[in-house]
Amino acid sequence: MGDKRDRYKIPRGVKKEALQGRDLRAMHGYGGGKVTKAINRKLRYQKDVGYKTAVKIDTYYRRHEKVDPPAENFADKKNPSKGYIRWKMMGRNTGHSWSKRLKKSLDVIQKKEKLNKIITKVEAIQLGMVR
């Protein structure tokens, strides 16, 4: 799992979309629960996010990418769907692209950590410290 000190810079486009998403939610009164609102606040006000938030963002997009965009009224200007408002709150397509890049980065970190544990164990076995 990533180092808790790792930080991931939030792209300007993600911040812009998150702000528009917050405004849409305020205007229509729906779209996004506690977790979405908390992440939206971070996307708008922070310059970067930590590992746990990065994972939550990726999880959101993987869960919603096939459901929200094709939904009825998704990008309707007068009556947008709840999914569209959530999608905007999370950074819209810019946020989706960013989350895919983050996921690749997080996967590499996780694989390196697993490999380092294996190497450490093998070295200990070679030194006769572990049976």
Residue 2 pLDDT grade (very low, low, confident, very high; cuts 50, 70, 90): low
Integer Cα distance of 99 and 94 in angstroms = 9
- Unique residue bearing structure tokens 């946020």: 95
Helix (H, G, I), strand (E, B) or coil at 50: strand
Which pLDDT does position 117 carry in this prediction? 93
Q: pTM (2 decimals)?
A: 0.77
- Unique residue bearing structure tokens 């971070």: 42
Which pLDDT does position 47 carry in this prediction? 95
The 10s digit of each residue's pLDDT in 67-121 is: 777 777 787 888 999 999 999 999 999 999 998 888 888 888 889 999 999 999 8
What Rg, from alpha-carbon coordinates, does the chain have?
Answer: 19
The answer for residues whose C-beta is within 8 angstroms of residue 70's C-beta and 6 or more apart is: none
